[in-house]
Amino acid sequence: MQSPSPSADGRASDLPAYAVLLRTLNRELNRSTLDFAHQHGLHATDIHALSVIMDSAEDPDGPATPSRLREELRLTSGAVTACLDRLERAGHISRVRDSADRRVVHLVYNPHARSLAREYFSPLARATEAARSRFSPDELTTIATFLGTLNAALAAGHEGQT
């Protein structure tokens, strides 16, 4: 099935066209991540957890913790523990106690696992860079602003939901 493409001037003409493009992007990203999960004996939830752990390494709020992961993924404490146990057994993460407060546990994406993911997802990185190279710096700024604004609006829509 071929998805509708943007209008001739390179812009999606309306909201339904954007929706199709976003759903198509979501399907393609899911296909890649679920293939990675399957090849490494992980659950879809494990991949979402790894994503949160990886992204939180750059977060000004600090590294991920089990409670933060529970909130992000909207899982029970038991489900988070099971997920972290699987990820730790598979060598993807480590649980590290905070040096200032030993009660706090930080979740660290292990370098070997990060390297494994980087290698697996290198075709995605190349495709992303090839697509980015077609746009000017100003256009990339607009695209990044759109994606950031959309992500913030979606996240705000989920606040307060359980």
Tally helices (H) and strands (E) across the chain. Answer: 7, 2
Burial (Cβ within 10 Å: 0-12, 13-18, ≥19) of residue 39: exposed
55: enclosing H helix or E strand: helix 44-56
131, 115: one domain: no
108, 49: one domain: yes
DSSP secondary structure letter of residue 4? P
98, 38: one domain: yes
Residue 9 in any domain: the answer is no
130, 112: one domain: no
Residue 5 in any domain: the answer is no
pTM of the model: 0.79
23, 101: one domain: yes
Residue 4 in any domain: the answer is no
41, 70: one domain: yes
Q: Which domain holds residue 150?
A: 121-162
37, 81: one domain: yes
159, 80: one domain: no
In this prediction, residue 4 carries a pLDDT of 47
- Number of domains forming the structure of the chain: 2
Task: State the CB neighbour count (10 A cutoff) for residue 93.
Answer: 24
144, 103: one domain: no
Give per-10-residue mean pLDDT for the chain (162 aa). Answer: 48 80 93 93 92 86 89 93 95 90 90 93 95 96 94 83 58
126, 159: one domain: yes
Written as one letter, the residue type at 43 is H
In this prediction, residue 1 carries a pLDDT of 43
Per this entry, what is the length of the chain? 162
